[in-house]
Amino acid sequence: MSHLVAVDPLFNAEMSWSVLAVVVIKVVIAFVILLVSVMLYIWGMRKVIADMQNRIGPNRAGPYGVLQTLADGIKLFFKEQSIPTSADRPVFRLAPYLSILPAFLLFCIVPIGGTVSILGHRTYLQVADIPVGALFILAMSGLGVYGVMLAGWSSGSKYPLLGAVRSTAQLLSYEAAFGLAVLGVLIQAGTLSTHGIVVLQTWVGPASFLRDWFWIRALVPFAIFLIAATAETNHPPFDLVEAEQELVGGFNTEYTGIRFAIFFLAEFMNVITMSAIAATLFLGGPSGPSIGFLARTGFVNVWLMPIVWFTVKVLALLFVTVWLRASLPRMRYDKLMALGWKYLIEIAILWVLVSTALVVGKQEGWQPLVVASVSAGIAILAFFTLYLAIPKAGEHVEEFH
């Protein structure tokens, strides 16, 4: 086990009760932060959408309606839970938890602050720094589909099943573009560890914003990541999984009470973790200017400022998701598939190939311009060949049996 987590200075010391306590504290705090932030995100989302529609939004429960989500949760908790007679009962009960678990695990590898001391141990402000963190991101976002799929399948009802089928197809399609977008950062960073990626983006001056943060060096993957992550989280305009007009409620039609609430918790939790991962990979995570006139080793600059910067970045990304939700209509299903398969994956592959060639060329001392033009030329040639090979609309294709 030690070789998996050895990078965190916490585990350089002998294993002791205080080390265990630090780990437990971090897990509990991460869990609480995630739950509270989901609560606040749902409230904030409703408020911002209300603003964009000239409404007021929730304003009854608590100051500015901030406790509205809590009130909704309490209501759902006390509602009757019904299970259809044709449902596969154990799977039906299991599905909500399968969808919420990956969302939480995903948040565990996100660094939300710098390196700090807790109980006399130096440690990173993240639950776990896994050496294969980027693979973990892909694995967990892939696991999320199980909750939705099993929920739809075990309901024993046709609309949930259709929603689940849509969901599986959509998530698998966008998984490819999502992975290639993450790869765009990994090529630049040369490490899979989320902490390592964040360290590479450390703030050394205003130039870091353009030079060290990966969003400009991986601009195209950043755009693809945002689109694919939106699709991965079933967020509008890609929320075909729960297209109310066509599928009643989608995969969660048969769910009631707290199980239904857990699905929604998972959905919004996913949005938050995806925003956090986008901030980590592309926007430097907790890195940002510290307050100059305070001590570099003081509480504010070590503890507070990194967390503030991380929060600001995540909030900005979350605002964009809400903005999308308020602005865009749902996509047609074939357009969704066309966007994923015909554009995002191709562009992502092209970017990965060219940037890999450039990185390798830099290590080998090749001429960057030559490398760029040759690799782009090869890529365009490949695409042209592919284009010729694909049958066009109305073209007769000889069947081979």
Partner 1 sequence: MGRLSGFNVTLRQMFKPRLTTEYPKVKRDKPERQHGRHVLNRYEDGMEKCIGCELCAGVCPAHCIYVRGADNPVDDPVSPGERYGFVYEINYLRCIHCDLCVEACPTEAITETKLFEFSFTNRADAIYTKEELVVDDDGRAKRMPWELWAGGEDDHTSAWMRATAPGGAAAYEGRVGWSGELGFGVRPPEEGQSDLVPSRADTAPHFDESGPGH
For 395, what's the count of Cα atoms within 13 Å in the CB-facing half-sphere?
8
Q: How many residues of this chain bind partner 1 (CB under 8 A)? A: 12
Pick from 13, 56, 360, 380 the residue near partner 1 by CB under 8 A: 56
Residue 53 or 367 having the CB closest to partner 1: 53
Nearest distance in Å: CB 65, partner 1: 12
Determine if 332 is a binding residue for partner 1 (CB under 8 A): no
Query: What's the gap between Cα 229 and its chain centre?
Result: 6
Q: 246: which 2 tokens?
A: 């066509």
SS3 state of residue 115: strand
Instruction: Give the residue, chosen from 6, 29, 52, 312, that forms a contact with partner 1 under the rule CB under 8 A.
Output: 52
- Cα-atom radius of gyration of the chain, to the nearest Å? 23
Nearer to partner 1, 49 or 70 (CB): 49
**Closest distance to partner 1 from the beta carbon of 48 (Å):** 8
We find the least distance from the C-beta atom of residue 53 to partner 1, in angstroms, to be 7
The CA-based angle 327-174-374, given to 5 degrees, is 105
Q: Does 338 bind partner 1 (CB under 8 A)?
A: no
The verdict on 323 binding partner 1 (CB under 8 A) reads: yes
3-state secondary structure of 124: strand
CB of 128 to partner 1, least distance (A): 37
Name the one range near partner 1 by CB under 8 A: 14-22, 55-63, 271-279, 302-310: 55-63
Q: Looking at 48, 71, 135, 199, which residue binds partner 1 (CB under 8 A)?
A: 48
Q: Which of 13, 25, 32, 55 binds partner 1 (CB under 8 A)?
A: 55
CA distance 220 to 352: 10
Q: Work out the angle at residue 134's Cα, subtended by the Cα atoms of residues 195 and 309, and round it to the nearest 5 degrees.
A: 45
**CA-to-CA separations, 163 to 5, 94, 158, in angstroms, rounded:** 39, 18, 9
Smallest distance, partner 1 to C-beta of residue 233, A: 19
- Taking CA atoms, 4 is separated from 8, 11, 162, 172, 326, in Å, by 10, 10, 40, 28, 42
> Are 21 and 118 in contact, with CB atoms under 8 Å apart?
no
| Contacts (CB under 8 A) with partner 1, residues 2-31 | none
Of residues 316 and 328, the one with the C-beta less far from partner 1: 328
Min CB(271)–partner 1 separation in Å: 18
Q: Which of 328, 360, 370, 382 binds partner 1 (CB under 8 A)?
A: 328
Among residues 102 and 236, whose Cβ is nearest to partner 1? 236
Separation CA 306–CA 291 (nearest Å): 11
The piece of 25-33, 175-183, 325-333, 345-353 that touches partner 1 (CB under 8 A) is 325-333
Minimum distance of partner 1 from residue 73's CB (angstroms): 25
Residue 283 CB, nearest approach to partner 1 (Å): 20
User: Binding of partner 1 at residue 363 (CB under 8 A)?
Assistant: no
Comparing CB distances to partner 1, the nearer of 55 and 362 is 55
Interaction between residue 316 and partner 1 (CB under 8 A): no
Inter-residue long-range contacts of 260-265, CB under 8 Å, 24+ positions, other chains counted: 260/76, 261/72, 261/73, 261/76, 261/77, 262/96, 262/97, 262/99, 262/100, 263/96, 263/99, 263/147, 263/151, 265/35, 265/38, 265/100
Q: Which is nearer to partner 1, 223 or 372 (CB)?
A: 223
Secondary-structure percent of the chain, ordered helix, strand, coil, rounded to 5: 70, 0, 30
Instruction: Tell me the window of 1-9, 48-56, 303-311, 361-369 that interacts with partner 1 (CB under 8 A).
Output: 48-56
Residue 50 C-beta: closest distance to partner 1, Å? 8
Cα distance between residue 140 and residue 138, in whole Å: 6
Q: Is 53 in the site for partner 1 (CB under 8 A)?
A: yes
Q: Exposed/middle/buried for 334, CB within 10 Å: 0-12, 13-18, 19+?
A: exposed
52-60, 194-202, 206-214, 375-383 -> range binding partner 1 (CB under 8 A): 52-60
Can you read off the two tokens belonging to residue 184? 């765009």
Contacts with partner 1, residue ranges (CB under 8 A): 48, 51-56, 59, 323, 326-328
